[in-house]
Amino acid sequence: MSWKQLVTLLGAGSATLLLAACIPIPADDADLYFGRGSGSIPISEGQTTEVHIRDTLPRYLGIIEEVVVESGGVLEVGGKNRVDGCLTTDTTDMDIHWDSMVIPAIDYEDLRRIVVEGAQRNGFGYSWDPVRRDKLNSRSVAVGDEYGNSLIFYHHEAQDRIIISLYSGCMFPSQPLDPDIPRSSYPLPSPEEMFPNLTIVQAFDHNGDENPDLRPQSGIQSGAQTGE
């Protein structure tokens, strides 16, 4: 699977989610913010980027780490963490697209249990879609909060893998950014800093092709669920 194919899978996996708990509805100022960052708390009153990275991000990373440990402790990363603008009327806001992540699949019900328990423990909203969709037999589990942060696990049974997508909501930095410095230079933690207890490997080579040494672990398999 190439990097382009991974991006396609992420798009396909964002199909309908059945709500198991209420993920917050957009805030009153959501019409100003057309991107990912429309939580139930007005963005003008939300967390700063620094507070998000210091306080909120580790709670999401903890959920991811629990799933990865269940999968074998190896996290494949592709692309890089990046800061984007929010497609708003304000030119000083930002959101963060954290590095796309891939792990060998675990049983979908185990995935759902771990993620839901983590969401409940952290006071996050959560949802899941248990129906197998498309040729990949894709199912998903999602977590979110009132700040517009989003964590989605795409369980692709046919490929024996889980793709993890993590986005922040729209935020303002505590100090205005220098307009002459691109957002892409904003300092973000590396995958190794985000997950010091996991083994981090590159999922793709410099040509965008899948690392041939990375294959789902035999025995960690959701395919047995086909008899459900």
pTM, rounded to two decimals = 0.77
Q: What are phi and psi of 118, to 5 degrees?
A: -65, -40
Q: What is the pLDDT of residue 40?
A: 77
Write down the pLDDT at residue 224. Answer: 38
Please give the helix or strand (H or E) that residue 8 lies within, else none. Answer: helix 3-12
- Give the β-pairing of 125-133 and 18-19: antiparallel
State residue 38's pLDDT score.
54
DSSP state letter for 99: P
Helix (H, G, I), strand (E, B) or coil at 3: helix
Cα gap 108→112, rounded to integer Å: 6
Q: What is the dihedral of CA 70, 76, 79, 84, to 10 degrees?
A: 20
pLDDT of the residue at 175: 79
* Element holding 4 (H helix, E strand): helix 3-12
186 and 61 Cβ atoms separated by less than 8 Å = no
Number of other CB atoms surrounding residue 205 within 10 Å: 12
pLDDT at position 202, please? 87
Spatial distance between the Cα atoms of 10 and 102, rounded to a whole number of angstroms = 11
What is the residue-level pLDDT of the chain in tens, covering all 228 positions?
Answer: 444 444 444 444 443 343 334 344 433 333 333 334 457 788 778 889 999 999 999 999 999 999 999 999 999 998 788 888 786 556 678 889 998 899 999 999 999 999 999 999 999 999 999 889 899 899 999 999 999 999 999 999 999 999 999 999 998 888 777 777 777 778 899 999 999 999 999 877 666 677 655 555 443 343 333 333
Cβ count within 10 A of residue 114: 19
- The residue among 40, 28, 46, 58 whose CA lies nearest residue 172 is 46
Domains and CATH numbers, the chain: 3-24+33-207 (3.30.2030.30)
Distance CA 224, CA 228 (A): 8
Give the per-residue pLDDT at 8. 44
d(CA 147, CA 227): 39
Give the pLDDT score at 32: 35
